[in-house]
Amino acid sequence: MANKYKKLILKKALLNNAKIVLPEEDSRVKKAGKELKNMGFDVIEIGSLKKNKNNYLKLAYKKKFTNNWTDKMIKDFIQCPLNLSIFALECNDVDCVVAGAKYKTSDVIRSAVRVIGIKKTTKWISSVFFMLSPDNKNLYTFTDCGVIPEPTSEQLCNIAFEASKIHKLISNEEPKVAFLSFSTKGSANHYKVKKIQDAVKIFSSKHSAISHDGEIQFDAAVNKFISNKKIKHSTLKGEANVFVFPDLDSGNIAYKITQHLAGYQALGPILVGLNKPVNDLSRGCSIDDIVYVSAIAALQT
């Protein structure tokens, strides 16, 4: 089926009846909002949220990050459409927020952390990109390509676990996690390799039920023949679908190469680890990207 994953995402997301807010003034965002409404999604206009501004102001005064702020600083903060929408999310007036067509990733994350906060079950926010093949028949999860510059072994374990959960949620497929490196099973000796090896050990002890392998080179993770040549007893057998990159440099470069040279659609960055769904967009996003990132946000509710 040519539209396998896109149809699945929309079908599952519509069942949640989520209220989505797209707070940015941008022609792509406006067109995406119309498309979402036509599909049956409940898209909330930012103007309707301004009626509840006094409630959000009261809540803002109670937040830790405003402890040393002046009244003007708090009012100016609420005035920003991004922050207003995230306060609406905190107050359950909407179910998810999608922004980033104009706002920087750092702005979206900072506002979300301040207002929504991070889940108690995790210590960090990370991100995933869902990479959808041109024929829409294959979906891969790349992580972390947008948030943590130089993750520790413990952070890599957490990144992999969060990516595994959302991969299954979106695709209905069991995650097969590859901890990527320039080394495969000790073929190179380097402190960067050691970091990946330690991450795999932690992941194996915490999440042994999830299929995973590492440290592993990309070719061995996706090619059965190469996997058989390089690894005697691989659990992945060249069929990885969740790729954990060793750092932000490699992850960000890889997803953009996959997008611009191989023609894959990059859906994200989808933020994981927050108490409620706030998703980011690449500033070069298309209308279709916004539609599906919004659907994924609805699915996360």
Looking at residue 88, its pLDDT comes to: 97
Per-residue model confidence as pLDDT tens digits over 79-101: 999 999 999 999 999 999 999 99
Supply the pTM of this predicted model.
0.93
Average pLDDT, the chain: 94
Task: Taking residues 206-235, report their average pLDDT.
Answer: 93
Per-residue model confidence as pLDDT tens digits over 264-284: 999 989 999 999 999 999 888
Asked whether residue 132 falls in the same domain as residue 253, the answer is yes
Indicate the pLDDT class of residue 2, thresholds 50, 70 and 90: low
- Alpha-carbon distance of 178 to 145, in angstroms, equals 15
Per-residue model confidence as pLDDT tens digits over 30-73: 999 999 999 999 999 999 999 999 999 999 999 999 999 999 99
Number of domains in the chain: 2
Q: What is the CATH number of the domain that holds 156?
A: 3.40.50.10750
Asked whether residue 9 falls in the same domain as residue 98, the answer is yes
Asked whether residue 300 falls in the same domain as residue 164, the answer is no
8 pLDDT higher than 50: yes
Asked whether residue 258 falls in the same domain as residue 134, the answer is yes
Indicate the pLDDT class of residue 3, thresholds 50, 70 and 90: confident
One-letter amino acid of 275: N
- Alpha-carbon distance of 208 to 206, in angstroms, equals 6
- Alpha-carbon distance of 46 to 195, in angstroms, equals 44
Indicate the pLDDT class of residue 137, thresholds 50, 70 and 90: confident
Asked whether residue 144 falls in the same domain as residue 268, the answer is yes
Asked whether residue 278 falls in the same domain as residue 268, the answer is no
Indicate the pLDDT class of residue 233, thresholds 50, 70 and 90: confident
Indicate the pLDDT class of residue 4, thresholds 50, 70 and 90: confident
Asked whether residue 85 falls in the same domain as residue 168, the answer is no
Task: Taking residues 131-143, report their average pLDDT.
Answer: 94
Range of 234's domain?
Answer: 126-273
Asked whether residue 67 falls in the same domain as residue 150, the answer is no
Asked whether residue 36 falls in the same domain as residue 103, the answer is yes
1 pLDDT higher than 50: no
Task: Taking residues 99-118, report their average pLDDT.
Answer: 95
Looking at residue 187, its pLDDT comes to: 81
Task: Taking residues 137-148, report their average pLDDT.
Answer: 94
* Of the candidates 118, 141, 117, the residue with the CA atom closest to the CA atom of residue 129: 141
Burial bucket for residue 70 (CB in 10 Å: 0-12, 13-18, 19+): exposed
- Alpha-carbon distance of 220 to 178, in angstroms, equals 9
Looking at residue 290, its pLDDT comes to: 96
Asked whether residue 134 falls in the same domain as residue 259, the answer is yes
197 pLDDT higher than 80: yes
Q: What is the CATH number of the domain that holds 76?
A: 3.40.50.10950
Q: Are 67 and 96 in contact (CB under 8 A)?
A: no
Q: What is the DSSP string of the chain?
A: -TTHHHHHHHHHHHTT--EEE-----HHHHHHHHHHHHHT-EEEPHHHHGGGHHHHHHHHHHSGGGTT--HHHHHHHHHSHHHHHHHHHHTTSSSEEEE-SSS-HHHHHHHHHHHT-B-TT-S--EEEEEEE-TTS--EEEEESSSS-SS--HHHHHHHHHHHHHHHHHHHSS--EEEEE-SSSTTSS--HHHHHHHHHHHHHHHH-TTSEEEEEE-HHHHH-HHHHHHH-SS-SSTT---EEE-SSHHHHHHHHHHHHHTT--EEEEEEEESBSS-EEE--TT--HHHHHHHHHHHHHT-
Asked whether residue 255 falls in the same domain as residue 147, the answer is yes
Tokens 């949620």 belong to which residue? 169
Asked whether residue 166 falls in the same domain as residue 256, the answer is yes
